[in-house]
Structure 1
Amino acid sequence: MAECELGCLTRQCLSGRRLGELRLLEEEIAAWSGDLNARQRGVDWQMTAEDARCKPNSVYPESIV
């Protein structure tokens, strides 16, 4: 999940820009994360925790020896 967040930060906030000062980078990230949190976006999980706990046979192919 952290990798997704860093990817979004790079694409949406920094977008290839080079910031000369650490203070400016911190301000940009704070503004971006404040806006993101205000919109209360979530993650659309594809499975439930219970589904993740089981070991579905369709995910693991049979090995033929």
Structure 2
Amino acid sequence: MTLSEYLKTMDKERLEAFANRCGTSVGQLRQVAYGNRRASAGLAVSLDRETGGVIACESQRPDIDWAYLRHKTA
């Protein structure tokens, strides 16, 4: 599922709450969803977290080596 498809499943209230949980605005989410802006690394992580992995950070920022971060041990 793409971010734009995901956002279309929500009514205005749910979309506002989702944006707040992601630490951004609905407008910024739409800009990212439609390819007008690139998600920051932080927003990509928030989208992954808040969607339970439906919108994976890898899909928003394929230029980042997420595999390294996901498998890093302390």
Q: Same fold (TM over 0.5)?
A: no
Which has more radius of gyration? 1
TM interval, shorter chain, is: under 0.3
Alignment TM-score, normalising by the size of structure 1: 0.28
